[in-house]
Amino acid sequence: MQLKLLRSKLHLATITGSDLHYHGSLTVDPDLMDAVGLLPYEAIVVSNIATGHRAETYILPGVRGSGQVELNGAMARLGAVGDRIIVMAFAWLEPAEVEGHQARVVALDTHNRIVERLDYSPIAAPD
């Protein structure tokens, strides 16, 4: 049995652009990807705070230091420039790997600058 746990999260990222005719994905400033350990082409879930829409895609690195968060292809239908989204990646862990697991999470301002690193407590061993 494996358990699906949150691994990485960009909380309240602001959509800075979209391109309906691009091949697809979410393009993100590599500084933001690095902050939570997201990898190019990694599967992600994107949730729009304004609409409640949620979709799965993959992440691509954009321009470093730009604050870029762009919806591409079908994902461009998920929201509009200025909408706030949550970007999440998950990991499948064996029960023996769960103890000590800790998600890497940052909260962002409206310019996609990190304003807080959220240190969720590592998962403790079961009693």
Active site residues: 25, 58
Rounded to 5 degrees, φ, ψ at 25 are 115, -175
Residue with tokens 């990694």: 42
Q: Answer positive or negative: Cα dihedral of 36, 13, 110, 119.
A: negative
Q: Answer positive or negative: Cα dihedral of 81, 39, 33, 118.
A: positive
Rounded to 5 degrees, φ, ψ at 36 are -120, 5
Q: How far is CA 49 from CA 37, 67, 78, 86, in A?
A: 22, 18, 11, 7
